Structure 1
Amino acid sequence: MDNYSQLLAFIWSTECGSFSAAARVHNITPSAVSKLITRLEDRLQVRLFQRGSRLLTLTEEGAAYLLSAKAVVDAMNEADSLAEGLPSRVSGTLRIHTMTTFAKHQIVPWLPEFLDLYPSLDVEIQLGAQFVDHFEQGLDIAIHSGVLPSSSRIAKRIGECEWLVCASPAYLAEHGVPTVPSDLLNHRCFNFSFVSPWSKWAFVQEGEGVSVPVTPSASFTQGDLLRDMALSGAGVVKLADFHIGPDIRAGTLVPLLEAFKSGIIEPVYLLYSDRKHLSPRIRVFIEFFCEKWRRNPWKVT
């Protein structure tokens, strides 16, 4: 592991003319320089210097090895110099895994602006309702809500979301407005088709938590289809505010049973694999979109 230090000590000693002079110039001890040279000679099984005079003299083997040593060090310095420019080079493919509705409503609206800023960067968005750790397969970023499985990934909390029971004004005008949670049993409801906390309709009534066993008339794997059903006036749905916030504000969907809300707030996390050596493409995405989400919060109220 010390081969590079041995090369440096060798080159410094030839340039300065002695171990002690090399030590003074590079702020290390003469004994440290001497030990590095000895290790180098032992490793190569050849003597590089003629000892016994005040100035170091290279052996024939030492003179030949000096050319190779300088080439190696020059190559290392060139590599380091190139690496210094990497943080400003945003290129390659950024791979993101997130929920379909989050991608559509919280990433896609600002994605063109982001791509204009970084024209050498390609973005690949993978969609799925549940967080799956695919970082070892090349994933750069994951964005998901709720309680995440324990892992060694870095999780940055970028916001929080609330799940709202809602329906369109047209549906409510025809079928009436539920006044207590149990009224939902007499309404046409739509739900997710997979088991998750999102598919449970929880409320607080008279200080106690209650869960309404809604039997969906139809169920879907995607929240956008639930939203479409609600907007069409077909029935009642439960969706996240980052998804339907604009619909609530526009009045095209109406939140229901507000007095019975459970008060459960879900954190939304941005996950990546390494804090210390953050790729430029990951860093600029985090900085850009966290600023967008800060300036454009999705909270309804």
Structure 2
Amino acid sequence: MDNYSQLLAFLWTTEHGNFSAASRAHGLTPSAMSKLISRLEDRLQVRLFQRGTRSLTLTEEGAAYLVSARAVFNAMAEADSLAEAFPTRVSGSLRLHTMTSFAKHQIIPWLPEFLAAYPGLTIDVQVGAQFSDQFDQGLDVAIHSGVLPDSTRIARKIGQSRWIICASPAYLARHGTPEQPLQLLDHTCFSFGFNSVWNNWDFLLNGKRITVPVVPKATFAQGDLLRDLALDGAGIVRLAEFHIGQDIREGRLVPLLDAFSADSFEPIYMIYSNRKHLSPRIRVFRDFLEQKLAQSPWNTSGP
């Protein structure tokens, strides 16, 4: 940085003709300006100016250096001009990893609107039930819920969703509606096929928190498959409201055992690698997503 300061001092002195005028124009003292030029000459091992009583003139070496100095200054100015445009330039590819159910029910509905707003941006959406740190492989953003593993990554809460036990009206008409948590043991239930808190069917019974040891008839890696089974009337499932909230509001699924609810709310996080100098493509996606989630009836907390 000191080298660049010396170069600027040389250009300013050349422009104004002496140290006093150059220093006044750029907020330095004549002594400070003179020292910068002297350091530059010492570093280059040449004299750049002939010092006169009232003015300075370039030496032959100074005239040659002026050509290069102006080229360096113009290149720096061009680079700064490009960088200043970065905050408003949204282009390139955004790589996103999230849960299949979240992508399908919370991102896909507004994705065309987002892409139309930012035509220079493309999005690569990768899905998986659990968070996997792939930022070193080029991932930009991850969206996942629940307890995240300890990490140096930045996790920004963007919402909160309730977990709901539910079934279709057709299933309940055939098999009856459970009135007590333990009655779930007599019903056909489905769950996730991996170790997760999502498989804990928790309730408040007589003032105490209990977990009913539901033994699922089948397990699946994706929540959408559990939802499909419930909609088909095959059994009872436990899924996030961001996933099945529309089904409940439209009567396709019926919440069960709400009176025993253990307030199973789960935070949803947007995860990225660094808070500082956030890429414009990440920032606009984050802002757009938070705006949409704030309007969602299932989101009980907002960002």
* TM-score interval, normalised by the smaller of the two chains: over 0.9
Task: Provide closer, same or farther for how the CA distance between residues 39 and 132 of structure 1 changes in structure 2, counting only shifts above 3 A.
Answer: farther
Asked if the contact 1:95–1:124 (Cα under 8 Å) also holds between the matched residues in 2, the reply is: yes
Give, as a single letter, the amino acid of the residue that structure 2 aligns with 1:262.
A
Q: CA deviation at 1:121?
A: 1.0
1:85 equivalent in structure 2? 85
2:147 equivalent in structure 1? 147
Q: CA deviation at 1:90?
A: 1.6
Task: Provide closer, same or farther for how the CA distance between residues 39 and 297 of structure 1 changes in structure 2, counting only shifts above 3 A.
Answer: farther
Asked if the contact 2:162–2:298 (Cα under 8 Å) also holds between the matched residues in 1, the reply is: no
Q: CA deviation at 1:139?
A: 1.6
Q: Secondary structure at the match of 2:158?
A: strand
Seq. identity, %: 67
Higher mean C-alpha displacement, 195-204 vs 39-48: 39-48
Asked if the contact 2:165–2:239 (Cα under 8 Å) also holds between the matched residues in 1, the reply is: yes
Give, as a single letter, the amino acid of the residue that structure 2 aligns with 1:146.
G
Q: CA deviation at 1:264?
A: 2.5
C-alpha separation between the residues in 2 aligned to 1:229 and 1:280? 40
2:263 equivalent in structure 1? 263
Asked if the contact 2:293–2:299 (Cα under 8 Å) also holds between the matched residues in 1, the reply is: no
1:247 equivalent in structure 2? 247
Asked if the contact 1:162–1:264 (Cα under 8 Å) also holds between the matched residues in 2, the reply is: yes
C-alpha separation between the residues in 1 aligned to 2:155 and 2:18? 53
Asked if the contact 1:245–1:299 (Cα under 8 Å) also holds between the matched residues in 2, the reply is: no
Give, as a single letter, the amino acid of the residue that structure 2 aligns with 1:49.
F
RMSD: 1.6
1:274 equivalent in structure 2? 274
1:296 equivalent in structure 2? 296
Any residues of structure 2 matched to 1:6-25 within 5 Å, and which?
Answer: 6-25=6-25
Task: Provide closer, same or farther for how the CA distance between residues 286 and 206 of structure 1 changes in structure 2, counting only shifts above 3 A.
Answer: same
1:38 equivalent in structure 2? 38
Give, as a single letter, the amino acid of the residue that structure 2 aligns with 1:13.
T
Q: Secondary structure at the match of 1:109?
A: coil
Q: CA deviation at 1:220?
A: 0.5
Give, as a single letter, the amino acid of the residue that structure 2 aligns with 1:183.
Q
Asked if the contact 1:160–1:267 (Cα under 8 Å) also holds between the matched residues in 2, the reply is: yes
Give, as a single letter, the amino acid of the residue that structure 2 aligns with 1:19.
F
Give, as a single letter, the amino acid of the residue that structure 1 aligns with 2:275.
R
1:238 equivalent in structure 2? 238
Higher mean C-alpha displacement, 115-124 vs 290-299: 290-299
Gaps of 5+ in 2: none
2:76 equivalent in structure 1? 76
1:131 equivalent in structure 2? 131
Task: Provide closer, same or farther for how the CA distance between residues 299 and 66 of structure 1 changes in structure 2, counting only shifts above 3 A.
Answer: closer
Q: CA deviation at 1:225?
A: 0.3
Asked if the contact 1:143–1:271 (Cα under 8 Å) also holds between the matched residues in 2, the reply is: yes
1:110 equivalent in structure 2? 110
1:27 equivalent in structure 2? 27
Higher mean C-alpha displacement, 114-123 vs 143-152: 143-152
C-alpha separation between the residues in 2 aligned to 1:95 and 1:267? 22
1:197 equivalent in structure 2? 197
1:25-57 alpha-carbon deviations (Å, 9 max, x no partner): 100122222222222222222221223533112
1:176-234 alpha-carbon deviations (Å, 9 max, x no partner): 11111111111111110111110111111001111111111110010000001111111
Q: CA deviation at 1:132?
A: 2.0
Higher mean C-alpha displacement, 213-222 vs 134-143: 134-143
Q: CA deviation at 1:299?
A: 4.6
Q: What number of residue pairs does the alignment pair up? A: 300
State whether structure 2 residue 213 is matched by structure 1 residue 210: no
2:156 equivalent in structure 1? 156
Normalised by the length of structure 1, the TM-score is: 0.95
2:49 equivalent in structure 1? 49
C-alpha separation between the residues in 1 aligned to 2:299 and 2:156? 18
C-alpha separation between the residues in 1 aligned to 2:88 and 2:5? 30
Any residues of structure 2 matched to 1:177-196 within 5 Å, and which?
Answer: 177-196=177-196
Task: Provide closer, same or farther for how the CA distance between residues 135 and 35 of structure 1 changes in structure 2, counting only shifts above 3 A.
Answer: farther
Normalised by the length of structure 2, the TM-score is: 0.94
Gaps of 5+ in 1: none
Q: Secondary structure at the match of 2:161?
A: strand
Q: CA deviation at 1:149?
A: 2.4
1:64-95 alpha-carbon deviations (Å, 9 max, x no partner): 00110011101111221222223332211011
Asked if the contact 1:248–1:254 (Cα under 8 Å) also holds between the matched residues in 2, the reply is: yes
2:226 equivalent in structure 1? 226
Give, as a single letter, the amino acid of the residue that structure 2 aligns with 1:293.
L
